[in-house]
Every structure is written in structure tokens, then in C-alpha cells.
């Protein structure tokens, strides 16, 4: 019996080539070097507020989101376009949503949240989508939505963590998806004729449930 140890097989180690490292594409490279544009129309009644708050809108869009912005006086539109140093291509749409929210009547500090957070949306609907009202009935419905000195509107905003703009018979809501649904349900109840007290008590239950969930 031979006392020789079995010869160990030598396995040739074939090292794999190093993984290629690709730098992330810049927006202008994604679209084959084409500059992307967005245009937002300025309604006549928002022309003066836009002039007043122009620097508040311009600064975050140009300096933080790295998007070019200008006002086209002839076409009465705010024009936005990407730059070579824009960090993310989605910034253009965020800025367009931010400017659009301002045009709908939201304050700059509220609308600017659209640039900071991804899960915020703006939803619009008209009173006639809920119920066909005319004349005095429509005026009373708008009055019910606002309440005395805007009390009802503020109560719904604070309970649901949303922002609401009532522009004649159009209603715009800014907030997260779940919160917008609660605010919309409350506004629809008021349009359909529910007294404010009943809507408040329902809001209290829903907001308590929301607080438990988080």
C-alpha cells in the first residue's frame, strides 16, 4: 500500500473582467441632446399675482431644480426648459406642476411642496359634476363650502392636511391621494346639502382614524 498522498488538482482560476461603470445619463443625453420644454398658460386674473411673486417662483425653479424659466409676455405663458446641468429629467414636470398650481390659485408656500414631495397631487372638479345647481342654489352651495369667513374650508383643510381653492364653481384640492379623497367627500357632502355640523363630526371620526393609522 503506497503512502503517497493523492496529487491535488490545480484549478486554473480565470478571473472575470471588471464590471463596466457607466455614469448616469444627463437629461439632455436621454433625449438625444434635444432640450425638453413645458408651457403653462397664465389666466388673466393671475397676471398681477405672478408679477408680484415672480422671484419666489423663479428662485426655487432655477437654483434648486436647475430648470430654466421665463415669462413669454406675447403668448402670456410661462416657459420652462431643461439645462445641461439639470440633475433629474422629472424636475421639469415637477416645476410645471408647481407653476400650474400657482395659476390655479394656491399660495407659493403651499404649491412649492409639489417640488419637495413626490406623493402630492392637484385635483380639480366643478360643482356641476356633483349636482346640477343654478342661480341662487349654486351661490348657496359655494357659501356652504366656504362657511362664514372661510371657516368650513379651513376646518376641512386642517383635518385632512390638504389645501383647497374655491374659484367660483371650480374647486381645486392639493394633497396626498388618501387625504384628497377625504376632503373631496366632505366637499361633496356640503354641495349635496349636508349641514356643516354633520360634516365636521364625520371629519373628526376620519381624522382620528388617520391619526391612528400613522
Domain harbouring 92, CATH code: 3.30.1370.10
For 31, half-sphere exposure in the C-beta direction (CA atoms, 13 angstrom radius) is 14
Lowest mean pLDDT among 13-17, 104-108, 145-149, 171-175: 13-17
Shared-domain flag, residues 93 and 129? no
- Cα–Cα–Cα angle for 27, 33, 38, nearest 5°? 60
Q: Which domain holds residue 139?
A: 122-212
User: Position of cell 389666466?
Assistant: 43
Query: Does residue 17 sit within a domain?
Result: no
Residue at which a domain ends, from 118, 153, 186: 118
Same domain, 42 and 94: yes
Model confidence pLDDT, tens digit, residues 79-97: 999 888 888 888 899 999 9
Asked if residue 10 has pLDDT above 80, the reply is: no
Residues 156, 169: Cα–Cα separation, whole Å: 18
Lookup result for grid cell 412649492: 112
Give the distance, in angstroms, between the CA of residue 34 and the centroid of all CA atoms in the same chain: 26
Q: Name the domain boundary from 102, 118, 134.
A: 118
Dihedral sign for Cα atoms in the order 8, 12, 16, 18 = positive
Number of domains in the chain: 2
> Same structural domain for residues 78 and 144?
no
Q: What is the mean pLDDT of residues 19-25?
A: 80
- Looking at the structure, tell me whether residues 112 and 126 fall in a common domain: no
pLDDT tens digits, residue range 28-63? 666 666 788 899 999 999 999 999 999 999 999 999
Amino acid at each position: 500500500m503506497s503512502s503517497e498522498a493523492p496529487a491535488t488538482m490545480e484549478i486554473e482560476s480565470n478571473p472575470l473582467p471588471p464590471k463596466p461603470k457607466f455614469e448616469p445619463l444627463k437629461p439632455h443625453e436621454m433625449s438625444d441632446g434635444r432640450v425638453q420644454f413645458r408651457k403653462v398658460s397664465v389666466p388673466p386674473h393671475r397676471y398681477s399675482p405672478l408679477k408680484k411673486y415672480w422671484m419666489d417662483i423663479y428662485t426655487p425653479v432655477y437654483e434648486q431644480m436647475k430648470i430654466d424659466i421665463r415669462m413669454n409676455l406675447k403668448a402670456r405663458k410661462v416657459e420652462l426648459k431643461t439645462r445641461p446641468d439639470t440633475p433629474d429629467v422629472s424636475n421639469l414636470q415637477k416645476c410645471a406642476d408647481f407653476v400650474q398650481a400657482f395659476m390655479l390659485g394656491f399660495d407659493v408656500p403651499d404649491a412649492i411642496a409639489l417640488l419637495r414631495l413626490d406623493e402630492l397631487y392637484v385635483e380639480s372638479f366643478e360643482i356641476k359634476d356633483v349636482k346640477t345647481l343654478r342661480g341662487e342654489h349654486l351661490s348657496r352651495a359655494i357659501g356652504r363650502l366656504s362657511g362664514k369667513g372661510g371657516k368650513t374650508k379651513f376646518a376641512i383643510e386642517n383635518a385632512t392636511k390638504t389645501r383647497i381653492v374655491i374659484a367660483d364653481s371650480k374647486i381645486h384640492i392639493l394633497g396626498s391621494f388618501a387625504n384628497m379623497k377625504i376632503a373631496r367627500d366632505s366637499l361633496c357632502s356640503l354641495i349635496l346639502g349636508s349641514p356643516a355640523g354633520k360634516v365636521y363630526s364625520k371629519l373628526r371620526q376620519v381624522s382620528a382614524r388617520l391619526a391612528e393609522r400613522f
